[in-house]
Amino acid sequence: MAAPGKALLTAGLAAVGGIVTLSLISTVSLRAFKAVVDKNRRKVAPPCQVCKGKGFVPCKLCKGSSTVSWSPLFDPVFIKPCVCPTCEGNRVQRCLNCIGNGFV
């Protein structure tokens, strides 16, 4: 005969396993549903006017040069070029109008 503690542990593990399984199934199904909705929305939605449907625009801070001038002093003796903190040197940033989707 099984001890009551062992039966309780088995039931608890089964419940946790069930919750994890349901969570995984719901996450996968929601992602698949979102992909279908985005695909259908892309067909009928107008393209973003800011990025022309690309989802990215030239970086506004570095203006597409991937570096910014920086000096630790107010009256600079030297100016040091640094990687742009906004685009991280990629020269483009996600469109804020369409959040990178390419359509509104």
In a domain? residue 48? no
Q: Give me the domain span that covers residue 72.
A: 59-104
Q: What band does 2 get if pLDDT is binned at 50, 70 and 90?
A: low
In a domain? residue 7? no
In a domain? residue 76? yes
In a domain? residue 39? no
Predicted confidence (pLDDT) per residue in 66-94, tens digit: 999 887 777 677 778 899 999 999 999 99
The whole-number pLDDT of residue 42 equals 77
Predicted confidence (pLDDT) per residue in 35-67, tens digit: 888 788 778 888 999 999 899 999 999 998 999
Per the structure, the count of domains in the chain is 1
In a domain? residue 20? no
Tell which residue, 61, 67, 65, has the closest CA to residue 86. 61
The answer to whether the pTM exceeds 0.85 is no
